[in-house]
A = this chain, B = another copy of it.
Amino acid sequence: MDFVLKRDVLSSHLDSLSRAVATRPIRPILNGILFQFNDGLTMTATDMEFAVRSRIPDISGENSFVVDAKTVTEIVKSLPDQEVKFSTDGQKLDILSGKSKFQIFIQDGTDFPDVKIPTDGIQFEMSRAQLYSMLERVSFSAANDENMRNLNGVYLEIENGISRTIAVDGFRMALAEEKVEGAFNLNFLLSLRAIKELARALSSINSEKIKLRFENRQIAFDLGSTVLVCKVVDAEFPNYRRVIPEDFKTRAVVDRNILKSAVRRVSIMTRAGSETIKIGVENEKIKFSSRSADLGEAEELVDAQIEGEPLTIAFNPNFILDALNHIEEEKVQLNFVDSNKPLMIDTPDLKGYFFIVMPVRI
């Protein structure tokens, strides 16, 4: 069986597919990419939790085979951009281009696990840019520990025409929301690994809308010639609404860049692993300070518009910086309840997202 492909076309498909190949797969065949011919070429890669399926039309062939993902990707990437000829006898795949000749061992396609892709169920569309921004704004707040399955991901909730992403790690939370069309409610948790690959895929395509299909606890993100399929994480996401503070007693509006520089500078005088900075709000000023027994101390004053009561509170400065790095607006609003309650960071003109940081005891 012979088929010919343009190097550049195949290479970009292989890049997406490779992302579904686990570093240490549970079965050796999952190191591979399944090539299937069926009114075009369909390529599939999966780690059994996350799958990518890619299609190149107008290619005909028979049978199906599995080829090592790393090897075929590296070979195709290394070739000059011209037509590449593939041929297989069922045992080996020959790749020919110019004066280069490769022969790779392949496996039978029937040994590859059956990847089910939702084709029915709840179907809806979302703006690519909005989905991307909702994921990017919150995923930094998820727990990095893969053993904490219910926090090592991003929760997606669609409710009354609003879609919402939420990530929580026990010390902080991030929430972003956007409007969505459709009269259905839906919520599910996706692993951070799936979110990362999804965000990468969303950032590399141009289409304005993404088609989503939810069926059998799987969600398919249809990006045109490539479909990403994620299994929903089977763990309960915490009731994030209970963490959202209310009845703010103090609010401060500050220039984002000035705030960022001040927090960064004061945090120099803290030791890795025990970062704590003190924040004092009073008289149109916020005072940031820190003290380290072996290094010394730092202090900085920042002008702010303040409403409400004076307050002293302490935080891990990294959590505040992380939140500030995900705000684009010029002004930031800090909303305090008291020294023991979480701080909510948003913007004076609410834009559908906010960040919550737990205080540190002082």
Interface residues of A (CB under 8 A from B): 68, 71, 74-75, 78-80, 92-93, 99-105, 261-262, 264-265, 268-269, 294-302
Task: Select from chain B the residue with minimum beta-carbon distance to A295.
Answer: B71
The smallest C-beta distance from A282 to any residue of chain B, in angstroms, reads 15
Determine if A104 and B295 form an interchain contact, defined as CB atoms under 8 angstroms apart: yes
Which residues of chain B come closer than 8 Å to A93, judged between CB atoms? Answer: 296
Cα-based distance from A143 to B136 in the complex (angstroms): 43
Determine if B268 and A78 form an interchain contact, defined as CB atoms under 8 angstroms apart: yes
Determine if A102 and B269 form an interchain contact, defined as CB atoms under 8 angstroms apart: yes
Determine if B265 and A296 form an interchain contact, defined as CB atoms under 8 angstroms apart: no
**Given A78-B261, A261-B78, do A101 and B268 touch, yes or no (CB 8 Å)?**
no
Which residues of chain B come closer than 8 Å to A296, judged between CB atoms? Answer: 71, 92-93, 102-105
Determine if B75 and A265 form an interchain contact, defined as CB atoms under 8 angstroms apart: yes
The smallest C-beta distance from A251 to any residue of chain B, in angstroms, reads 21
Which residues of chain B come closer than 8 Å to A92, judged between CB atoms? Answer: 296
Q: Which 3 A-B pairs have the closest CB atoms?
A: A104-B296, A99-B301, A78-B265
Task: Select from chain B the residue with minimum beta-carbon distance to A95.
Answer: B298
- Extra contacts, 20 of them, besides A74-B268, A75-B268 (Cβ < 8 A), are A71-B268, A71-B295, A71-B296, A78-B264, A78-B268, A92-B296, A99-B262, A99-B300, A99-B302, A100-B262, A100-B298, A100-B300, A101-B300, A102-B298, A103-B296, A103-B297, A103-B298, A104-B296, A105-B295, A105-B296
Task: Select from chain B the residue with minimum beta-carbon distance to A74.
Answer: B268
Which residues of chain B come closer than 8 Å to A71, judged between CB atoms? Answer: 268-269, 295-296
Cα-based distance from A103 to B92 in the complex (angstroms): 69
The smallest C-beta distance from A190 to any residue of chain B, in angstroms, reads 33
Q: List 18 A-B contacts (CB under 8 A).
A: A71-B268, A71-B296, A74-B268, A75-B265, A75-B268, A75-B298, A78-B261, A79-B265, A80-B261, A99-B301, A100-B262, A100-B265, A101-B300, A102-B298, A103-B296, A103-B297, A103-B298, A105-B295
**Partner of A105 from B75, B101, B104, B294 at Cβ < 8 Å:** B294
The smallest C-beta distance from A106 to any residue of chain B, in angstroms, reads 9
Cα-based distance from A103 to B297 in the complex (angstroms): 5
The smallest C-beta distance from A271 to any residue of chain B, in angstroms, reads 10
Cα-based distance from A79 to B105 in the complex (angstroms): 59
Task: Select from chain B the residue with minimum beta-carbon distance to A104.
Answer: B296
Task: Select from chain B the residue with minimum beta-carbon distance to A78.
Answer: B265
Cα-based distance from A103 to B262 in the complex (angstroms): 15
Which residues of chain B come closer than 8 Å to A300, judged between CB atoms? Answer: 99-101
Which residues of chain B come closer than 8 Å to A265, judged between CB atoms? Answer: 75, 78-79, 100
The smallest C-beta distance from A257 to any residue of chain B, in angstroms, reads 11
Which residues of chain B come closer than 8 Å to A261, judged between CB atoms? Answer: 78, 80
Task: Select from chain B the residue with minimum beta-carbon distance to A80.
Answer: B261
Which residues of chain B come closer than 8 Å to A295, judged between CB atoms? Answer: 68, 71, 104-105
Cα-based distance from A302 to B301 in the complex (angstroms): 67
Which residues of chain B come closer than 8 Å to A269, judged between CB atoms? Answer: 71, 102
The smallest C-beta distance from A290 to any residue of chain B, in angstroms, reads 10
Which residues of chain B come closer than 8 Å to A79, judged between CB atoms? Answer: 265
Which residues of chain B come closer than 8 Å to A294, judged between CB atoms? Answer: 105
The smallest C-beta distance from A161 to any residue of chain B, in angstroms, reads 45
The smallest C-beta distance from A197 to any residue of chain B, in angstroms, reads 24
The smallest C-beta distance from A296 to any residue of chain B, in angstroms, reads 4
Task: Select from chain B the residue with minimum beta-carbon distance to A268.
Answer: B74
The smallest C-beta distance from A302 to any residue of chain B, in angstroms, reads 7
